[in-house]
Amino acid sequence: MTEMQFAVGQLQNSRSLTNELVESLREQIVGGKMQPGTKLPAAKVIEEQAGVSRSVVREAIAALKAEGLIISRQGVGVFVANSTPKKTFEIEEEEFNSVDDAIKILELRIAVEVEMSVMAASNRSVKQMKTIWKCLDNFDKQIEAGNDAVKEDFLFHLAIADASGNPYFSRFIEYIGSGVIPSREIITNNERSYEPSNYLALIQQEHRNIAQAIEDKDIEAARLATREHLGNSRERHIKIAKRFKKNKK
């Protein structure tokens, strides 16, 4: 059993400290700094070095277990797995902090989610429709509380994936994770006409158009509403990217 020389820097106050800690530990494991069989230190040590709470450490450990990078041995501790999986396709939240990356990821989403919504309009059940509307109710509550509603936004799109009847849509959205949602600050910090709560209200109205089309089982309306929602977001980001490039000249 190998004890590791653990070292992780203080994390910044980002949108997700859990994701930041997961990425830091993942890089050390995949990069070979933490060898198979290495025992991770106690949660308290990680807390102190990373400057995060116990819940953040617990969530990060759970995420790494789900990836197969670490394993638990009851009564002994947590260890780097003897065989770690190869890194596969994924999108990190940080990638959406770049305008150009946000545009590319939105283009990927358009290619996938337009047909996903079409299938949801065709296949959704009454129960699945209730889940979709519930996600939007929760989104409204977050707007009222002054929050960014990123989690609720992600769960709305995941609920549509579930309603499509094709489990691979759900797995795709779930695997990408909350990185599928652009950072709100890209728009609100660079476009004066978009005050945060008004910007979220605009997004929410587009969500409701999609949900209503799925409720009505209107395939063409679902296609158009989803393309409009993601296409509008893409155009907003393109506008900002062009401004950035113009200012650099």
| Domains of the chain (ranges, CATH numbers) | 2-80 (1.10.10.10), 93-248 (1.20.120.530)
- State the pLDDT at residue 158: 93
- State the pLDDT at residue 5: 47
Query: Which among 135, 101, 186, 216 is positioned nearest to 224, based on CA atoms?
Result: 216
What the block records as the tokens of 43 is 């949660």
- Tell me the C-alpha distance between 84 and 107, whole Å: 31
- State the pLDDT at residue 188: 59
Residues forming a β-bridge with 39: 3, 79
Helix segments in the chain, DSSP class H? 17-30, 43-50, 54-66, 99-123, 126-144, 150-163, 167-176, 184-188, 196-215, 219-248
Which DSSP helix (H) or strand (E) runs through 39? strand 38-39
pTM exceeds 0.75, yes or no: no
Residues forming a β-bridge with 70: 80
What is the edge-to-edge ordering of all strands in the sheet holding 70-73?
A: 2-3, 38-39, 77-80, 70-73
Q: What share of the chain is helix, strand, coil (3-state, %, to 5)?
A: 65, 5, 30
CA end-to-end distance (rounded Å), the chain: 57
- Tell me the C-alpha distance between 209 and 207, whole Å: 5
pLDDT tens track of the chain, all 249 residues? 444 445 555 554 444 678 788 888 888 887 778 888 888 888 888 888 888 888 888 888 888 888 788 898 888 889 998 865 554 545 555 544 567 777 888 898 899 999 999 999 999 999 999 999 999 999 999 999 988 888 899 999 999 999 999 998 988 888 776 666 766 655 656 566 667 778 899 999 999 999 999 999 999 999 999 999 999 989 888 887 777 666 665
What the block records as the tokens of 147 is 């929050």
Number of H helices, E strands in the chain: 10, 4
CA distances from 41 to 12, 29, 52, 61, 205 (A): 21, 14, 15, 12, 47
- State the pLDDT at residue 98: 66
> Which DSSP letter does residue 94 get?
G
- Tell me the C-alpha distance between 93 and 164, whole Å: 25
- State the pLDDT at residue 118: 97
